[in-house]
């Protein structure tokens, strides 16, 4: 009886244990579902379960925000604090006329910055022609197969409703053409113009407008990253402010992109530290256009040269195929390598534990080009390390699985006989089996193309590559928002594959409009390369004189770079330098900087309410830029040392920089 009782008890315990295991598994499954699909409260939940791989490491938990060092590294540029955004009309500006000249339908081809520039231009053109603008069609998405059907064309990237609502007092905007004109367009019976880059208002008023009045609709094909000249005549200054209202207010990314960018920004700022955003600008097209192939090695050089040959064939490049890349680099025509930018930032005083965000849809050469930068800054991150894969997939929408439908040829009879002979070759050792066919490496964003060694012709893009190109627009949209909001921004390059302002230039223009005083380094690459070459053999053991020169240049670039942009970037892209048309002064034109930029307009009176409170705070910070003696001499001691941070030890120089030198550097 006792044995039977024990058996019953043991059986009950087993059942209890089994039920407990089932309940535990069910509980874990429910928690996983909550963490996976619950959007609300995810920021609260992530404190206990990290959904991204970044683990910030800081040398000091205390970060004195009132110290002179903090104000020098992260504080605002005082000489630009009087500049503020003002894109509202300043004179008589009528609402759109009820009677329209017709419909303007636009197809835009290009990358992120080209699309953004072009949209601002076509809005201004529609206002100029008194036409109704149909929401532009973005060819990068409509021509890409395999992307989500939830978001098409303009709505794939931007918020259509916000765009239409923000421009209601500027131009008439509709989502589609009327039904009768849709049919005419499908039959290609509406007049079409392939618009040249930077066309003048005269072109539209004397060539496009007569056709528009006759047919009630025209189609514009924009493929050069802009269809209206950047600098308009003085009597069209209101059209410049219209461009600002479009680029900085009407063009909002769709909700899913905005939300993810906000989450990433929240995670970046969660440690309570400011961060630097860095855009390398190292794309294959830009490197090929400017002749920078020899900055790389092996297959990368060959890939750049192949692209340059294609550009030369199509008339994009008019120079020689082979260019002296070293000479181009010394002229400032090539991007700064990530390692060089890291050296500049460390020389300026940013420590190894500074948070550094890397932006860009493509870094040519792959992650290996960023390894030295990771070694200098432990907390180097990008959007992939600050978001989960499922968060990124949500902004893509529901995409179909792409299956390789290409039929593979069966093995040849000869190959089968070889394998059979090898299997029956008798006792070992026997000959090795025939080698497999040489694998072909896929074409991906990191710069490895297997076709280079096998063919002179670049293969056509696969469906997966077309999808990736569409995804790049969303990646750059996220990076754009983060770079605009960064405490410090520094570009590695500011030109694209056609010699015009690129993504980084748009970011710098937006920062100049939104918060002109935020720290934005606009480097003179020619001067930087000269300084780097002077100390090429001792970059990681820099002396006092070299550090002083680097810091002076970086400080000067905060002001001089803005002034130079008015002559270098603005003629190609108004959004890269929207001053003075879209800026106003709070304190009056008392400084030479405003005079150099041409900003003379005083801000509206409603902005004056915040002046008094802010001016009191500035009185205590008046000499913050000059008081840097306590920490101005920080740099590497040994980048290859056995330091837990991985970024090298920091030491103080024997002699500190003189305060007066810093003051002169800022001037």
Provide the pLDDT for residue 40: 40
Task: Please tell me whether residues 164 and 269 are part of one structural domain.
Answer: no
Write out the two tokens for 465: 């590559």
Provide the pLDDT for residue 598: 83
Task: Please tell me whether residues 264 and 240 are part of one structural domain.
Answer: no
Asked if residue 137 has pLDDT above 90, the reply is yes
- Angle of the 255-269 helix axis to the 463-485 helix axis, nearest 10: 50
Q: Is residue 654 part of a domain?
A: no
Instruction: Give tens-digit pLDDT for 518-545.
Output: 999 999 999 999 999 988 887 777 788 8
- Among 606, 629, 660, the domain-final residue is 606
d(CA 656, CA 667): 20
End-to-end CA distance of the chain: 99
Provide the pLDDT for residue 55: 79
Provide the residue range defining the domain that includes 359: 254-281+334-399+461-606
Provide the pLDDT for residue 400: 82
Task: Please tell me whether residues 388 and 501 are part of one structural domain.
Answer: yes
- Among 206, 229, 251, the domain-final residue is 251
Residue 500 · residue 225 · CB < 8 Å: yes
Task: Please tell me whether residues 533 and 587 are part of one structural domain.
Answer: yes
Q: Which residue has the higher pLDDT, 451 or 605?
A: 605
d(CA 486, CA 482): 6
Number of domains, the chain = 2
d(CA 110, CA 121): 14
Place of tokens 């909002």: 252
Provide the pLDDT for residue 615: 46
Q: Which residue has the higher pLDDT, 347 or 434?
A: 347
Q: How many CB atoms are located within 10 Å of the residue 198 CB? A: 19
d(CA 397, CA 337): 35
Task: Please tell me whether residues 274 and 156 are part of one structural domain.
Answer: no
Task: Please tell me whether residues 105 and 233 are part of one structural domain.
Answer: yes
- Among 567, 587, 606, the domain-final residue is 606
Instruction: Give tens-digit pLDDT for 392-423.
Output: 989 998 888 876 544 445 556 666 777 777 67
DSSP letters, 611-624, are: HHHHHHHHHTTTTT
Q: Is residue 524 part of a domain?
A: yes
Alpha-carbon separation of residue 241 from 43, 89, 174, 247, 280 (angstroms):
38, 7, 22, 10, 30
Stretch 173-201: mean pLDDT:
89
Q: 3-state DSSP call for residue 108?
A: strand
Consecutive H or E run containing 140: helix 139-142
Residue 184's pLDDT band (cuts 50, 70, 90): confident
Task: Please tell me whether residues 195 and 341 are part of one structural domain.
Answer: no
Consecutive H or E run containing 194: strand 192-194
Q: Is residue 651 part of a domain?
A: no
Asked if residue 236 has pLDDT above 90, the reply is yes
Asked if residue 283 has pLDDT above 60, the reply is yes
Q: Is residue 77 part of a domain?
A: no
Residue 504 · residue 281 · CB < 8 Å: yes
Q: Is residue 569 part of a domain?
A: yes
Nearest to residue 393, comparing CAs of 208, 148, 165? Answer: 148
Residue 437's pLDDT band (cuts 50, 70, 90): low
Least confident segment among 48-62, 89-103, 206-220, 362-376: 48-62
Q: 3-state DSSP call for residue 106?
A: strand
The pTM of the whole model exceeds 0.75:
yes
Provide the pLDDT for residue 430: 59
d(CA 441, CA 596): 52
Q: 3-state DSSP call for residue 587?
A: coil
Task: Please tell me whether residues 266 and 217 are part of one structural domain.
Answer: no
Q: For the chain, how long is the longest CA-to-CA vector?
A: 109
Least confident segment among 132-146, 265-279, 651-665: 651-665
Residue 549 · residue 578 · CB < 8 Å: no
Q: Is residue 667 part of a domain?
A: no
Q: Which residue has the higher pLDDT, 587 or 380?
A: 380
Q: Which residue has the higher pLDDT, 313 or 488?
A: 488
Least confident segment among 122-131, 370-379, 601-610: 601-610
Task: Please tell me whether residues 137 and 150 are part of one structural domain.
Answer: yes
Provide the pLDDT for residue 322: 85
Asked if residue 245 has pLDDT above 70, the reply is yes
Provide the pLDDT for residue 121: 96
Instruction: Give tens-digit pLDDT for 150-171.
Output: 888 999 999 999 999 999 999 9
Place of tokens 């705070």: 617
Stretch 73-82: mean pLDDT:
91
Stretch 43-57: mean pLDDT:
53
Residue 451's pLDDT band (cuts 50, 70, 90): low
Provide the pLDDT for residue 427: 66
d(CA 379, CA 58): 9
Task: Please tell me whether residues 273 and 163 are part of one structural domain.
Answer: no
Q: How many CB atoms are located within 10 Å of the residue 81 CB? A: 17
Asked if residue 387 has pLDDT above 60, the reply is yes
Domain with residue 114: its CATH number is 3.40.50
Q: What percent of the chain has pLDDT over 90?
A: 47
Stretch 89-96: mean pLDDT:
88
Q: Which residue has the higher pLDDT, 252 or 665?
A: 252
Q: Is residue 512 part of a domain?
A: yes
Stretch 506-526: mean pLDDT:
95
Average pLDDT, the chain: 81
Q: Is residue 37 part of a domain?
A: no
Asked if residue 376 has pLDDT above 80, the reply is yes
Stretch 30-47: mean pLDDT:
49
Residue 3's pLDDT band (cuts 50, 70, 90): low
Least confident segment among 43-57, 274-288, 305-319, 642-656: 642-656
Provide the pLDDT for residue 442: 44
């Amino acid at each position: 009886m006792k044995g039977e009782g024990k058996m019953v008890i043991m059986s009950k315990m087993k059942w209890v244990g089994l039920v407990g295991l089932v309940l535990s598994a069910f509980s874990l499954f429910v928690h996983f579902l909550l963490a996976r699909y619950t959007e609300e409260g995810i920021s609260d939940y992530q404190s206990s379960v990290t959904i991204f791989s970044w683990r910030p490491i800081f040398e000091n938990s205390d970060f004195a925000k009132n110290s002179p060092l903090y104000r020098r590294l992260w504080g605002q540029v005082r000489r630009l604090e009087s500049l503020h955004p003002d894109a509202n009309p300043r004179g008589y500006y009528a609402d759109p006329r009820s009677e329209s000249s017709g419909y303007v339908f636009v197809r835009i081809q290009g990358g992120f910055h080209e699309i953004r520039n072009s949209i601002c231009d076509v809005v201004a053109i529609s206002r100029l022609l008194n036409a109704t603008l149909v929401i532009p069609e973005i060819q990068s998405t409509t021509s890409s197969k395999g992307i989500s059907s939830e978001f098409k064309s303009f709505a794939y990237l931007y918020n259509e409703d916000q765009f239409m609502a923000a421009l209601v007092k500027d131009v008439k905007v509709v989502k589609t053409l009327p039904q009768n004109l849709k049919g005419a367009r499908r039959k290609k019976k509406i007049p079409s113009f392939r618009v040249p880059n930077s066309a003048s208002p005269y072109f539209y008023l004397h060539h496009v407008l007569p056709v528009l009045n006759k047919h009630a609709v025209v189609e514009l094909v924009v493929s050069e990253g802009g269809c209206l000249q950047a600098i308009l005549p003085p009597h069209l200054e209101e059209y410049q402010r219209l461009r600002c209202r479009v680029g900085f207010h009407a063009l909002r990314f769709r909700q899913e992109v905005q939300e993810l960018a906000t989450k990433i920004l929240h995670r970046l700022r969660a440690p309570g530290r400011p961060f630097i955003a860095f855009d390398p600008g190292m794309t294959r097209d830009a490197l090929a256009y400017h002749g920078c192939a020899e900055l790389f090695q092996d297959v990368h050089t060959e890939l750049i040269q192949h692209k340059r040959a294609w550009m030369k064939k199509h008339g994009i490049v008019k120079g020689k195929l082979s260019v002296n890349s070293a000479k181009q680099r010394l002229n400032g025509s090539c991007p700064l390598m990530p390692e060089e930018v890291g050296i500049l930032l460390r020389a300026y005083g940013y420590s190894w534990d500074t948070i550094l965000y890397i932006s860009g849809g493509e870094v040519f050469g792959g992650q290996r080009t960023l390894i030295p930068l990771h070694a200098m800054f432990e907390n180097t991150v990008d959007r992939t390390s600050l978001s989960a894969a499922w968060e990124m997939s949500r902004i893509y929408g529901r995409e179909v699985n792409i299956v390789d439908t290409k039929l593979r040829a069966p093995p040849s009879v000869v190959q089968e006989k070889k394998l059979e002979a090898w299997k029956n070759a008798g006792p070992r050792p026997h000959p090795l089996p025939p080698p497999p066919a040489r694998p072909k490496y896929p074409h991906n964003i990191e710069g490895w193309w297997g076709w280079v060694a096998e063919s002179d012709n670049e293969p056509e893009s696969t469906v997966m590559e077309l999808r990736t190109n569409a995804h790049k627009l969303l990646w750059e949209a996220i990076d754009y928002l983060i770079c605009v909001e960064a405490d410090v921004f520094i570009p590695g390059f500011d030109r694209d594959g056609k010699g015009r302002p690129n993504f980084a230039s748009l970011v710098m223009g937006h920062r100049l409009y939104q918060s002109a005083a935020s720290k934005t380094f606009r480097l003179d690459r020619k001067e930087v390369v000269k300084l780097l070459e002077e100390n090429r053999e001792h970059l990681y053991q820099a002396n006092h004189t070299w550090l002083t020169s680097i810091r002076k240049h970086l400080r000067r670039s905060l002001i001089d770079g803005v002034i130079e942009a008015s002559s270098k970037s603005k003629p190609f892209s108004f959004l890269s330098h929207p001053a003075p048309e879209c800026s106003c002064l709070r304190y009056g034109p008392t400084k030479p900087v405003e005079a150099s930029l041409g900003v003379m307009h005083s801000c509206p009176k409603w902005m004056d309410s915040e002046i008094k409170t802010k001016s009191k705070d500035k009185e205590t910070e008046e000499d913050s830029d000059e008081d840097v003696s306590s920490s101005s001499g920080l740099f590497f001691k040994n980048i290859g040392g056995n330091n837990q941070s991985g970024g090298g030890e920091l030491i103080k120089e024997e002699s500190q920089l003189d305060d007066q030198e810093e003051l002169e550097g800022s001037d």
